[in-house]
Amino acid sequence: MMLIATGIKKTMLAARIAQIRFTARVLALLNRSSRFVDLLCVLRSWSVCSFVFDSLAGYARVFPSFAQAEAVARSYLEAGHDSIDNARTHIDQVRVARPSDYATLFHMNKVLSKAVSIFDLGGNVGNLFYCFAQYLDFPQELKWTVCDVPEMNAIGRQLALERHEHRLRFTDSLQDAEGADVFLASGSSHYFEAPLPELLRSLNRRPKHVILNRSPVTNRPPVVTIQDGRTYLVACKIHNIDEIMHGFESLNYVCVDSWTASDLSLSIPFYPECSARAYRGFFFRLRDTN
């Protein structure tokens, strides 16, 4: 009986996830109409409609806190950042650079002659190192430190061992970014509740250059939601762009360049006005740093 009950529960959960994803696809199409978006915002202001919308959206909605979003994500799928499928996805992406990589490659190439240490926040198993090594001439003395969860670090170390790659290191401590020549946060900053400048504020010796790439930001107040990786779910935060810029300015950084990563987006089906239709990228340099 217990096995039957477990099977029924799994089937119901799978059906629920399928319904949430189907609803998200339908809303993605409807949200292309500005009239529908306006109507949706009006209806959402009614408590009854808001309840119905959130019920249909399931985990694909706005949450009051990171902790609540993480709890809801785990109630649907146990797999998160530590998922082996997460690692496989990123390994598969190292074959060629994506459109959103090229601005990062451009700026890294400019500073590489003076850079001996790169700190890669949320670098998974070192996928960007392997990808960028196909395009940039990395010196043998380069130290590329990936900061990720222990599960990803273990896979990354084994992969580096198999590929005889001595320039890769792995850590789960942000403090290892002290004094890095380049701080790289590509597709990772939105998985932290605090904006990136606040994370850097804890460092006594701040990185000379910061590349913030593939970041979902808007001009609206920050919102917390859940990103669907198909086999895993993770809480994330769409940050406010002005908060990011002011934060870096307060740390004595100057924004050298910014770009749009239009190959990526983060949609919240019933909150289209809060969605990030395209990710953004930024290159910051500490003042008085060449």
Domain holding 109: CATH number?
3.40.50.150
Residues 45 and 185 grouped into a single domain = no
| Domain stop point among 60, 75, 94 | 60
What does the alpha-carbon distance between residue 110 and residue 98 come to, in Å, rounded to a whole number? 19
Q: What pLDDT sits at residue 172? A: 94
Burial (Cβ within 10 Å: 0-12, 13-18, ≥19) of residue 22: exposed
How many structural domains comprise the chain?
2
Question: What integer pLDDT is reported at residue 231 of this predicted model?
Answer: 84
Q: Do residue 155 and residue 110 come from a single domain?
A: yes
Both 110 and 184 in one domain: the answer is yes
Domain that holds residue 19: 2-60
Cβ atoms < 10 Å from Cβ of 221: 10
Q: List the structure tokens of 72.
A: 């809801």
Distance CA 85, CA 235 (A): 17
Let me know whether 44 and 119 are in one domain. no
Task: Give the mean pLDDT of the chain.
Answer: 91
Beta-carbon neighbour count of residue 121 at 10 Å?
24
Does 129 share its domain with 212? Answer: yes
pLDDT digits (tens, 9 = 90+) for 108-142: 999 988 889 999 999 989 999 999 999 999 999 99
Give the integer Cα–Cα distance in Å for 181 and 166.
19
Please check whether residues 43 and 135 belong to one and the same domain: no
**Tens-digit pLDDT profile for residues 214-249:** 999 999 999 999 999 888 899 999 999 999 999 999
Whether 18 and 136 share a structural domain: no
Threshold 0.85, pTM exceeds: yes
| 78-116 residue pLDDT tens | 876 666 665 566 566 667 888 999 999 999 999 988 889
Maximum distance among all Cα pairs of the chain, rounded to whole angstroms: 70
